[in-house]
Structures are given as structure tokens and as C-alpha cells.
């Protein structure tokens, strides 16, 4: 017996803002983000029969949206050979050092009104720091850590070896932490 059920008639009211914020933080273009959310809802409707109820409805929709974002970057990568990507990283100096903002982002259902403003300001600071990274470093970092693409797939797509990939990710993390510590924390 499924633990969770889908209620597509409530998706727009319940999840559109959350999904849009998630998408725009990854593609940095509100029109593309809107399209990705719409595609997510359509894909959810088309695959609703495959929903087993193991994950919460929002979690299931986010998983679909993640695939849509990955597909978006694969599409523009194959056309242009490069993409500007945005990721979200936060360091609070506690035991959660180095958590990804995706895991720490404010729950839209919580009562904390300052979370949205703080996340928006943090997102702008992160975008500023990302704009200072070399494009390929930003792309590799985002593909691996945000999109969860396998090392082998990234290396094949970009024509690099695993050692280069991990060096770029390390350099990106170091640069982002330095920039965020200087500009945000």
C-alpha cells in the first residue's frame, strides 16, 4: 500500500513557487525556469501511473525537475559547447560545513518569513562568486555536484580525464568558499 499519493490538481498551488525557485537557482533565467517547471508538471502527469508512493509528492516532482535541468544543460552543451551554470553552496562553520544549499534551503511551508529573503540574498552572492570562476571549472563543478552526473559521463562529454575533473572541482570549491567567506559570511 503506497504511503504517499499524488494530487496533480494541487501541484501548481502547492509546489510551483518552490520548483520555480529551485529551477531558477540552477539556470539563472526565469523564462527557462518557468518552462522547466511546466515540463516537470507535464512529465509528472504523464508518468503518474509509475508513481509508487515511496517518496513524498514534492520530492518526486523535484527528482523530475532535476532531470529536466540536466537535459536542459545537455541540450545547450551539445549546441554551444559550453554553458553558464549556477550552483548553490553554503558554509555555516558548524558540523554541517560544506552543505549544499539545496539541502539547507528554507522549507516553503515553514513559518520563517526571513528565509526567503535570506536565500535570495545568498543566491545573488553565490551567482556573483560563480561568475568569477572559469567557465569550464563552473560547468564541471555543476555537472558533478549539482546535477549528479557520473564522472565517466562528464569526462566523455567534455573530453577530460578523471584527474582533471577532480582538480577542477577542488579548485572551484576552494574559490567559491573564499569568495563566499569574503562576500557573504
CATH of the domain at 159: 1.10.10.10
Helix (H) or strand (E) segment spanning residue 37? helix 30-46
pLDDT, residue 184, reads 67
In-domain check, residue 47: yes
pLDDT, residue 87, reads 43
Total of domains in the chain: 2
> Tens digits of per-residue pLDDT, 93-122?
444 444 444 444 444 444 444 455 556 677
Q: Is the pTM of this model over 0.85?
A: no
65 and 121, same domain (yes or no): no
**What average pLDDT does range 152-173 have in this prediction?**
88
Q: Is the pLDDT of residue 174 over 50?
A: yes
| Portion of the chain with pLDDT greater than 90, in percent | 11
pLDDT, residue 71, reads 85
Weakest-pLDDT range from 115-119, 141-145, 165-169: 115-119
Q: Is the pLDDT of residue 139 over 80?
A: yes
What is the residue range of 138's domain? 114-184
124 and 165, same domain (yes or no): yes
Strand partners, 89: 100
Strand partners, 100: 89
In-domain check, residue 150: yes
User: Mean pLDDT over all residues of the chain?
Assistant: 75
In-domain check, residue 161: yes
CATH of the domain at 24: 1.10.1740
> Tens digits of per-residue pLDDT, 25-50?
888 888 999 999 999 999 989 888 88
In-domain check, residue 108: no
For the record, the C-alpha cell of 78 comes out as 551539445
In-domain check, residue 159: yes
In-domain check, residue 122: yes
In-domain check, residue 49: yes
In-domain check, residue 2: no
For the record, the C-alpha cell of 166 comes out as 577532480
CA–CA distances in Å: residue 109 to residues 55, 105, 115, 150? 18, 12, 11, 33
77 and 14, same domain (yes or no): yes
Amino acid at each position: 500500500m503506497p504511503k504517499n499519493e499524488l494530487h496533480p490538481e494541487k501541484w501548481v498551488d502547492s509546489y510551483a513557487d518552490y520548483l520555480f525557485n529551485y529551477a531558477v537557482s540552477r539556470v539563472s533565467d526565469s523564462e527557462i525556469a518557468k518552462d522547466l517547471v511546466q515540463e516537470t508538471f507535464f512529465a509528472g502527469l504523464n508518468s503518474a501511473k509509475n508513481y509508487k508512493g515511496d517518496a513524498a509528492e514534492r520530492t518526486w516532482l523535484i527528482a523530475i525537475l532535476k532531470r529536466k535541468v540536466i537535459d536542459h544543460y545537455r541540450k545547450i552543451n551539445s549546441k554551444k559547447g559550453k554553458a553558464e551554470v549556477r550552483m548553490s553552496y553554503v558554509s555555516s562553520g558548524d558540523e554541517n560545513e560544506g552543505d549544499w544549499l539545496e539541502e539547507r534551503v528554507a522549507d516553503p511551508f515553514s513559518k520563517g518569513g526571513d528565509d526567503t529573503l535570506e536565500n535570495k540574498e545568498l543566491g545573488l552572492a553565490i551567482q556573483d562568486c560563480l561568475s568569477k570562476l572559469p567557465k569550464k571549472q563552473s560547468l564541471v563543478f555543476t555537472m558533478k555536484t549539482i546535477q549528479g552526473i557520473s564522472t565517466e559521463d562528464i569526462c566523455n562529454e567534455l573530453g577530460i580525464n578523471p584527474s582533471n575533473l577532480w582538480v577542477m572541482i577542488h579548485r572551484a570549491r576552494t574559490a567559491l568558499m573564499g569568495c563566499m567567506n569574503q562576500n557573504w559570511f
